[in-house]
Structures are given as structure tokens and as C-alpha cells.
Structure 1
């Protein structure tokens, strides 16, 4: 019987999402009771949406060798509140964009503000490669740590970290989204279709030639939002670069 399949191609990855709905499901199948609309259930739903959105954006716009940057504060220059940290972040981005515009370089980024366990504020950023000195000159509050993105082209784990930072950000009074992005990022189209099948959809991820399955991305169960079964996973193109992470 039919089920819904969504496919999103982002960079070297393909995100597959299979699910049923109240209109598309096997005969006789029943929907599980949806989770009660509590703050905790809504938090889980919002987190999953944020992880999916950030994964797609990162995989579609950044490549091996681009940067994962951490902007930290020196003790005497620390932001005292989340809103102060957001202002510092904005000033940093304005400086960096001006420099890159002057040099006729494209600036692509996703940045999130993290509140540490002890309340220390700092920022995480994914951006395209630029001279490190430009970043140092734009950030006036402390040290920067720069690590190149790995050569898988699959950054869902990093996206998950970014998404989780948003929860604590809001819990401590942050307004709006904890993360922001440049307007020039490409957002791939998600193609949706109804797949006709004689039974229930397979709850094991599919495979395809030339791709490997990132087992860390396999997620299945009952949707807190709809009460119907779902399956989600990512395949990564195997083009001679590093294979599946251990």
C-alpha cells in the first residue's frame, strides 16, 4: 500500500524520509496516539526540524576544507547576557562581510550562539574558506579556533550540535532564533511523491550504487507530531574520498 517518500539532494548527500499519514497508509493500519502537546514534546519536534533544516543547508553549501569556527571571549571582554552576545555576533559578521565585499569574495555562513554549562557564551560558525587573518581582525573579543570540515561532505552531526545549542539559548532568555545564516545559501528542493507498495514500507534504509549509508543518521519510530510511522536516513556519495565514519 502507498506511503509518502521525500527526497532531498544536498551536496554529496541524499536525505530520504518515508512516512504514512491519515490519508496515505496501509488498509487496517492504525495511528498511534500522538504525544500530548507539552513543552517537552514540542521541544523534541522543534529540535528534529532544526536538525533537518541545518543538515540540508550545511550539506548543500559547504565542502571539505571549509571552516568550523569557534569564537570565544577573553575574561575581561565577556558578554554578560545572550542579547549582548548576539550584538557582538552581528558586529563581527558586519565587519567580515564588509572585508569580503571589498575583496570581492563571497561570504557564506551559518552561525549559532552557545551558552555553556557554566553560562559562558561563545559562538560557533560554519563558513566558506577565507584568509584566517580576516576572521581574526573581525572578532575583537577573544580567541578563535578554526577546524576544517571533514572530507565526507556529510555534516549532520555538526548540524545536530548547532540545533541543540538553540534550546539552551532560548531557556536562558534568548529571543528569536539562536542561529542565523547568510541570505545567499542554497536551499535544495525536497521532492515528494506517493510510492505505491503492496505492504508496509521497509523499516530498513535502502541503498543505491555509488553511495554509502551513514548509520548515524538512521532514525525510525512513531512521529510525535502525526502518530504515524516514519523512517529517515542519509546516503553519501562515494567518490573516492573518505568512506563511512566509524
Structure 2
């Protein structure tokens, strides 16, 4: 069985995310290749949710910091959109207005958002956005549909150094419920969702390496510490994997 290591590097090496996993493409020495098993629809939905959260986490690690903002935009009952298309248009109008303000101040605007409709019909938008001194005032002036709840990322209850909780929260959908402490899944609390990001957040391809064997311990390079680590089973393959985030001790930011 092949063991592989994938290393994503962010912020010029200040942050690294390492994933080690068995891909099941090869059998043990002298044995035939592992038979590929077909995952269930539920398993594939979970894997797709994990992949979406992973990409969101990588963008958070590369482009967002503690002083950026996590906002929740709500709708008054009388201002609720009739459908997702209207909600998307409401968001686009907001961003058009904000983009002009950020451009005038020579600040590049980046964002990650999820439009959500609850099972009881209420709508809201979770938004992670580049922060500046006027962010909250600008958003308040450009969102006429309801209330705004704002906090800096470092003060959010979902913030961690590896951004895993925040990424899972901002990418949740009606297809997969949130993961509980015992590993099981809650019933989805959404009836509809739409996840999107700004286009100015490209990600560099990772470095990949084939390993001779499964590493028993996490390898921590000199000058780094492990911010968080996680081991689990890929629901689609049935093989174990490990993920850990390394942060430079003397990072620049």
C-alpha cells in the first residue's frame, strides 16, 4: 500500500500543512493491488465536504489574519429573499459597493462567503472579509436588509491557528451535518446553501512525496511547532490519514 505525504506551504513558509495518507493503490510487497471499493453516496458527500473545507482552510491560512473580519448578515422577516438567486444578487450588490470603497483606499478586497437558508426559512450570510478600520461602518451602510454581527477573526469562537473550525463552519451545507465530538454527524440544519469566494486568492500546488512506510511520529522541522494535528479514516477509501499544521516560531506576522 502506497503512503504519501503532501505539503502545502503558506505565507512564504510561515505556515505549512502536511497530509499523510494511504491511497490503497498498491498492495503490500508480494501481494496484489488492493481492490478498489465503491463508496456510498453518504460517504462521497462527506469526502466532498472535507475537500471543500480543505480548500477554504488553505485560503484562510494564506490570505487572512487575526485582524480580518467574520461577519454574519441577517435578513428582516419582511426583507427575506424569495429564492437563492435573489440572495446572491443582494450579496453581489453589497460587494460592488464595498469594492469601490476598498479600491479608493488602495486595499485589496478578499472574501469567503456562504449564503444559508435554515430549515425554518430564515436567511443569513456568513462572510469572512479583509479587514480595515472602516470595514464594519461600510458594511452597515451597504446592507439594508437586516442586522450585522461582526467580530475580528481572532475573537471568533471558531478561530484556531490552523483555521479548521472556521473553514468547516463557512463551508457547511444542507448535504452533510456538522461533525459531533463522538465522530457521528448531526442532521443538517440548512435547507439550502451557496458557497463562494473572491477570485483573487490563487493557491500554489503542494509538494508531493512517496514514503517508504507510514511514519509513526509527526516530523517537526527545526524552527516550527505543531499548531494542531488530526488523524482519522477517509470515509471513501477506508484508509487512515494524518493532517497537521506547522507554524514557524519566529514568523514575520
TM-score (norm 1): 0.80
CA contact (8 A) 1:3 1:25 kept: no
Q: 2:139 aligns with which of 135, 140, 154?
A: 135
Q: Deviations over 1:98-146 (max 9, x none)?
A: 2222333211111111223423111111111131221112212111111
CA–CA separation in structure 2 for the residues paired with 1:204 and 1:147 = 37
Q: Deviations over 1:45-71 (max 9, x none)?
A: 101101111100111000111111111
Show the counterpart of 2:105.
103
CA contact (8 A) 1:32 1:228 kept: no
Distance 1:122 1:224, change over 3 A: same
TM-score (norm 2): 0.78
Q: Note the C-alpha offset of 1:203.
A: 5.1
| Aligned pairs for 1:1-246 within 5 A | 3-11=3-11, 12-23=14-25, 26-27=28-29, 31=34, 34=37, 36-130=38-132, 131=134, 132-150=136-154, 153-165=161-173, 167=175, 172=191, 178-195=194-211, 197=212, 200-202=213-215, 204-215=217-228, 217-221=229-233, 223-239=234-250
CA–CA separation in structure 2 for the residues paired with 1:166 and 1:191 = 33
CA–CA separation in structure 2 for the residues paired with 1:229 and 1:25 = 15
CA contact (8 A) 1:47 1:163 kept: yes
Show the counterpart of 1:244.
none
CA contact (8 A) 1:17 1:230 kept: yes
The farther-off stretch of 54-63 and 36-45 is 36-45
CA–CA separation in structure 2 for the residues paired with 1:121 and 1:39 = 27
Q: Note the C-alpha offset of 1:186.
A: 3.5
CA–CA separation in structure 2 for the residues paired with 1:160 and 1:184 = 21
CA contact (8 A) 1:3 1:24 kept: no
CA–CA separation in structure 2 for the residues paired with 1:38 and 1:165 = 18
CA–CA separation in structure 1 for the residues paired with 2:25 and 2:93 = 49
